[in-house]
A and B are shown apart, each in its own frame.
Chain A
Amino acid sequence: MKDLKTYAEITWCPGCGNFGIFTSVRNAIPLLEEKGIKRDNIVITSGIGCHAKIFDYLNLSGFYGLHGRNCSNSEGIKIANPDLKVINFSGDANGLAEGLAHTMFAAKRNQDLTFILHNNSVYALTTGQFSPLAEKGWKGPSTPRGSYEEPFNPISLMIEAGATFVARGFAGDVKHLTDLMVQGVEHEGFAFIEVLQPAVPYHKWEEYREQIEYLEKEPDTYFEAMKAAKEKHKFTIGIFYRTTRPVYHKELYGEYNPIKKRLSKETRIEKIHKILESK
């Protein structure tokens, strides 16, 4: 069994919430293997930001994309080879600012991916500017008088966009988060997992630990899920929504696989010959 850690030097701040996510992924992989998902078939992507460093640390194949764009890379991977299980890491700026449209559309399409949103509510790597999930009034170098914008509610946003598995976890509860990740990857469809993840220069663990609550019951319907997403405070963790809907790649070509079943040059030429004959 290969180690899930690479030789890369870890450069997250000591005590960073990203460590909890890193540990949860490393815990989840063997559990997924036990459930029959081969490690060789797992592919990761990340965008740019503190979240993305996980790409260098995890000894898994994948694509380290651009800021905000890795969700599209993930979609392209899944569309070309649906045998692959894609875990898409994103920060809240990567996925909900620069990459908002891509995240929304991946959910709309019910792409069969697991989207892990590292929610630290701040632009950490670029020195603390307010982010799409930052509280209104966040004072950062770009908003010295405090931000003027209300944060998104990522849970209701993703339910509305069309995600078919929507959950929130906490980097400080690795067991719970590991379980969410396993369920997310197993889920066929767009699985969105928001992870509350303190960036220690900007937030204290205590702020989180004091407020964390567990969702007592997984909502059964869309409207119950939306109600929970809207009414529960943003430190409520658990699975908010789970449903089934056809996944994008199967709508596109059924049980096919464009790479594995690629037509030979000879067959293609024959068919092209026929097309030209008819023109």
Chain B
Amino acid sequence: MDSNVFTFLVGGKAGEGVKKAGSVAAHIFSSLGRHIFQMDDYMSLIRGGHNFSVVSTSPRWISSHYMKANLVVNFDKRSCETHMNNIAEKGIMVYNSDEQELEIGVGIPLTSEAEKYPMKNLMYGVGAVAILSAMIGFKKDQLNQIIRSEYPRGIEDNIRFANTIYDIVSPDCGAKFPLEKGDKKRSIIPGNVAISLGAIAGGLDVYYGYPMTPASTILHTLAREAENFGLAVVHAESEIAVINMAIGSAFTGAKSMVGTSGGGFALMTEGYSLAGITETPLLVILSQRPGPATGVPTYTEQADLAFALTAGHGDFLRIVASPRTVREAYYLTSEMLDLVWKFQTPGILLTEKHLSESSMTVEIDLEKSKWAEPKMHKDGDYKRYLDIHDGISPMLFPPSNQIIKWNSYEHDEFGITTENAEMISFMHDKRNKKLETLIEYLKGLETVKIIRGENPTNIFTYGSTYMSVLEALRYGRLNPTTIAPIYLSPLPTWELKEFKNQDNVVIEQSSTGQFTKLLEEKAGLKIRNTIKQYDGRPFDPIELSNKIKEVL
């Protein structure tokens, strides 16, 4: 184990403040100037069950949680059973001694101490924070300050309880894990907040959504910020309404975005195709969870890639890009919003639960955000679908003394329905021209991330799996060239030519290897092996590094 990495895992029932304890821990680490990666594992229920939060931290950039934790705090018996194998070498497990007696670990009477307070169930999280604080050698006043700012409801009780737990832990385990300080304090945000802020920076005006994990927190974040930024944020009656409202808004020039997961996007595909023929700029955030159908709502997968690439009936230009990190999610969302407006076509920011809902320390250069700006009509008689050399018709929005007609039927340049044979092929050609224009434009952007290494085998990956791969390579001290396309449609084949006759391995989270197939079919790459994981869980860097070693 990298001695600089420290991992804290806290587990308990839903409703006991597990996730909150994880996020408080993350803030404790970032206050020491360290980087963090927090992954929350929770079930699709409101109370009970088993949830856990893992926070890994290091003075250097860290791109994954580790499933071997130095400190495991379990609130109940089920958590102990679940996490027996998640204790790192020389790690400590803290268990609730009111529920069981164990030979190993440190027993703390969490329940009997918590029962002394009216908000009993909410005390467990506070207890976990106290245990962590004692073990990393925080002084009591540091702990109290944290409790004051993070658990403001019933402060005095929280502080008293935290101090009791701290005093139980300290004699044997105090300052067991002193943590080296990092260089500076950084913000911690989950992927969905990065996406929301990136969209706002890029010019977002309206957002429509229908709740669906793991995209719901985009709706929540934007609804919370609506007034602050002057946005209209609407929870509509269905995903079908959502996409059609967004398209209506785009018709007025509003930068519109929608967000959902696979099942919701399935309902949106009718409207996605509508955006194709009407040339509506529309950004869809598609955050994947395991499918098909309802699948596994609160877990992660990358099996909607093929769907995203071909969604919607008919021929039209689809832009699909997938961010690798939380930070990139911010930039890429603003860039995608700009692109869909530049090229007047729908696009998908494809991501996963693992990025949407995992939190990281980030440093974002806000000045690097893009700003969506369409090509506008200057003067003279207006034709919505005027064909010019690059296929991109200038835009104009109502109110206007010009007539602006957007049409879901095949149409002429003015926007009136046509069944004329020549006009039908003319319009197809007009829209298809945009692909070439787009490819030329993308050649000026970073569309593939390539990290050069020494090993003769290359590793291809994309989306949040890139983060798992990077951490695994660092852990295993492996050094292959790593290639991660950011754009998936159009696939930047111009960047991938050099790898054609080399030895390539793919790492992805799809049981049928959808990304592998994409690389084979579109880029003509030979893929020797694909490392897949499709159990709903993100890769663990230690396990993944062992798998990579086997194939290198």
Please report A residues at the B interface, Cβ cutoff 8 Å. Answer: 6-8, 38, 40-41, 43, 45, 48, 53, 55-56, 59-66, 69-70, 72-77, 79-81, 83-84, 101-102, 105, 249, 252-253, 256, 258-259, 261-263, 265, 268-269, 271-273, 275-277, 279
Q: Are A272 and B416 in contact (CB under 8 A)?
A: no
A105 to B197 CA separation, bound complex (whole angstroms)? 29
Residues of A within 8 A of B229 (CB): 263, 268, 271
Known: A80-B254, A81-B254, A105-B237. A258 touches B230 (CB 8 A): yes
Interface residues of B in 64-122 (CB under 8 A from A): none
Known: A55-B407, A258-B230. A72 touches B241 (CB 8 A): yes
Residues of B within 8 A of A75 (CB): 241, 245, 248
A195 to B74 CA separation, bound complex (whole angstroms)? 66
A81 to B232 CA separation, bound complex (whole angstroms)? 10
Q: Are A252 and B232 in contact (CB under 8 A)?
A: yes
Known: A62-B405, A80-B232, A81-B398. A259 touches B205 (CB 8 A): yes
Q: For the complex formed, measure the closest distance between the CB of B463 and the CB atoms of chain A, giving whole angstroms.
A: 23
Q: Assess whether B371 is interfacial by the CB under 8 Å rule.
A: yes
Q: For the complex formed, measure the closest distance between the CB of B116 and the CB atoms of chain A, giving whole angstroms.
A: 33
A50 to B486 CA separation, bound complex (whole angstroms)? 45
Residues of A within 8 A of B208 (CB): 76
Q: Are B201 and A45 in contact (CB under 8 A)?
A: no
Q: Interface stretch among B4-12, B154-162, B362-370, B500-508?
A: B362-370
Q: Are A272 and B197 in contact (CB under 8 A)?
A: yes
Interface residues of B in 157-206 (CB under 8 A from A): 187-189, 193, 197, 200-201, 203, 205-206
CB-defined interface of B237-276 with A at 8 Å, one 1/0 digit per residue? Answer: 1101100111111111110100000000000001100100
Across the A-B interface, the 10 shortest Cβ-Cβ residue pairs: A76-B248, A72-B244, A76-B245, A73-B248, A80-B254, A80-B249, A76-B249, A279-B187, A40-B399, A64-B407
Q: Assess whether B228 is interfacial by the CB under 8 Å rule.
A: yes
Q: Are A271 and B252 in contact (CB under 8 A)?
A: no
Q: Assess whether B400 is interfacial by the CB under 8 Å rule.
A: yes
Interface residues of B in 127-160 (CB under 8 A from A): none
Add 17 more A-B contacts to A62-B405, A276-B364 (CB < 8 A). Answer: A6-B403, A55-B417, A62-B406, A64-B408, A64-B411, A64-B417, A69-B271, A72-B248, A75-B248, A76-B246, A84-B398, A101-B241, A105-B236, A253-B227, A268-B201, A268-B229, A272-B201
Q: For the complex formed, measure the closest distance between the CB of B195 and the CB atoms of chain A, giving whole angstroms.
A: 13
Known: A38-B399, A256-B230. A73 touches B252 (CB 8 A): no
* 17 A–B contacts from the bound complex (CB under 8 Å): A40-B400, A40-B401, A62-B406, A63-B406, A64-B408, A73-B251, A76-B206, A76-B246, A76-B247, A76-B248, A80-B206, A81-B397, A253-B226, A263-B230, A265-B371, A268-B229, A279-B188
Q: Are B366 and A272 in contact (CB under 8 A)?
A: yes
What residue of chain A has the Cβ atom nearest to residue B251's Cβ? A63
What residue of chain B has the Cβ atom nearest to residue A79's Cβ? B232
Q: Assess whether B32 is interfacial by the CB under 8 Å rule.
A: no
Known: A64-B407, A65-B274, A269-B367. A84 touches B252 (CB 8 A): yes
A37 to B232 CA separation, bound complex (whole angstroms)? 24
A261 to B231 CA separation, bound complex (whole angstroms)? 10
Q: Assess whether B523 is interfacial by the CB under 8 Å rule.
A: no
A81 to B278 CA separation, bound complex (whole angstroms)? 19
Q: Are A76 and B244 in contact (CB under 8 A)?
A: yes
Q: Assess whether B531 is interfacial by the CB under 8 Å rule.
A: no
Q: Are A64 and B409 in contact (CB under 8 A)?
A: yes
Q: Are A8 and B416 in contact (CB under 8 A)?
A: yes
Residues of B within 8 A of A252 (CB): 232, 234
Residues of A within 8 A of B188 (CB): 279
Q: For the complex formed, measure the closest distance between the CB of A228 and the CB atoms of chain B, giving whole angstroms.
A: 28
Residues of B within 8 A of A102 (CB): 237, 240-241, 244
Q: Assess whether B552 is interfacial by the CB under 8 Å rule.
A: no
Q: For the complex formed, measure the closest distance between the CB of A16 and the CB atoms of chain B, giving whole angstroms.
A: 17
